[in-house]
Amino acid sequence: MSLINVAIVAVDGFSPFHYSVPCILFGDSVSGEKRFNVTICAETPGLLTSKDGFALNATQDYTAIGQADIVVVPYWQHVLERPPQALLDSLVLARDNGAEIVGLCLGSFVLAWAGILDGKRAATHWEFEHHFQSLFPNVQLDINALYVDDGNIITSAGTAAALDCCLYIIRQRFGSVVANQIARRMIVPPHREGGQAQFIAQPVPKDTRDARINCLIDYLQQHITEPHSLDSLVLRELRGPRQGSWLRML
């Protein structure tokens, strides 16, 4: 099976976490098998530095975008400023060539600047909702989504949602078994629906007037990764920490 060419667009002042996500997930260090050929590209090839002192080596210029099957823009530093025209033209060309274009977090701004999100649904970091809507009124922004797939153009919400988005792309290409295997090695949830909310507006209450509910909330928070059903929670409440303790409280 031929490798899938992935071009990751880098920029000076990059955010290390945002770039590490696609590099790790599309790389072979975690999966143990090479499925993607990853290229880091920038306006000018060479060493790029982050604000935190990390360095990233871009081996190619934007011409790599036109040769890619998947193009990823993981981050953009100055979202209110129009990116270089060469980058925007390269994204349009890649889209026209049938490539999958991915904007993670603030990278969605770059896709919108290129015009390839016009008339489409998109996601971005919720804190930049108003900036995005003001700049790009022709894009249907969904601030409640972790990621959005609309006709070969995929965008995600902020930071950790990039993990979900990249796992979704891997799942679409190679199936759930491969995606779940990678997620397990990274100790992240194997699958979160794209339509899941970016954040919980109302936090879980720390205390209620009912001691039984408080105990149940504590239990759920300590076992948050385990599956629970209404029946199992009712049964636990009836049993309590010791057999029949809840019954004596009733």
For the chain, list the domains and their CATH numbers.
4-186 (3.40.50.880), 211-249 (no CATH)
pLDDT confidence of residue 247: 41
pLDDT confidence of residue 106: 97
pTM: 0.77
Task: Give the C-alpha separation, 144 to 50, whole Å.
Answer: 29
Q: Name the residue with tokens 């016009």.
A: 118
Q: Please, is 83 exposed, middle or buried when counting C-beta atoms within 10 Å of its C-beta (0-12, 13-18, 19+)?
A: buried
pLDDT confidence of residue 207: 64
Query: What mean pLDDT do residues 56-72 have?
Result: 98
- What residues form DSSP beta bridges with 70? 6, 100
pLDDT band at 212 (very low <50, low <70, confident <90, very high): confident
Please provide the average confidence, as pLDDT, over all residues in the chain: 88
